[in-house]
Amino acid sequence: MRASTDQGRTFGPIIAINGTGTLPQKSKIIKIPGIDKLLESEENTKIAVSGNNVYIVSWDKKTGNWEVFLARSTDGGKTFEKTVNLSNSSNTRSDRAGILADANNVYVAYWETAKNRTEKSIFRASNDNGTTFGPKLNLAANWPIGSSSGGGT
């Protein structure tokens, strides 16, 4: 990560966002005929900023399992705290995370895929600038908007 404090005219030094493991990551691009592999590549790092706080969410296999990680800076991106594993789900693949920050609130959503290939969308929220996060909430995509339980309207 590199931060700019002058509207992008110059950037500070490169800051490594530290993960929680040591397994090397190898990039693998699958070739599909008729598909632009660079255009269709999925980015695995998202950033959100609120005031002087910078939040970076990513997913990787540093623990041996795909997990969603959050790195937080409270000084405008000059330094980052130790990365936190938000998904911490050893029996599922957690990936495709997104993040939004507004005032003291930080919202993270991501997908979990079980070994039987069933997927669910997970939401986690913080109301203390990313210091702590509430429980995992399952966002059931097949429920009607406004429904409090599955199957009802």
- 101-119 pLDDT, tens digit per residue, is 999 999 999 988 888 888 8
Q: Quote the CA–CA distance of 149 and 54 in Å, as a whole number.
A: 35
Task: For residue 107, give its domain range.
Answer: 45-139
- Partners of 122 in the beta sheet? 110, 138
Residue 119 resides in a domain: yes
Q: Quote the CA–CA distance of 144 and 153 in Å, as a whole number.
A: 6
How sure is the predictor about 142, in pLDDT bands with cuts at 50, 70 and 90? Answer: low
Residue 69 resides in a domain: yes
The pLDDT, as a whole number, for residue 33 is: 53
Give the chain's domain count: 1
Residue 147 resides in a domain: no
Residue 92 resides in a domain: yes
Strands laid side by side in the 45-50 sheet: 45-50, 53-60, 67-73, 84-85
The pLDDT, as a whole number, for residue 136 is: 92
Residue 71 resides in a domain: yes
130 burial level (CB within 10 Å; 0-12, 13-18, 19+): buried
* All residues at 6 or more sequence positions from 16 whose CB lies less than 8 Å from its CB, including other chains: 1
The pLDDT, as a whole number, for residue 7 is: 82
Neighbours of 127 (CB within 10 A): 14
Q: Which of 80, 37, 78 has its CA nearest to residue 58? A: 80
Average pLDDT across the chain, whole number: 78
Q: What is the mean pLDDT of residues 20-48?
A: 53
Residue 8 resides in a domain: no
Residue 80 resides in a domain: yes
- By three-state DSSP, how is residue 114 classified? strand
Residue 129 resides in a domain: yes
Q: What percent of the chain has pLDDT over 90?
A: 33
* All residues at 6 or more sequence positions from 89 whose CB lies less than 8 Å from its CB, including other chains: 65, 67, 112
Q: Is the pLDDT of residue 40 over 60?
A: no
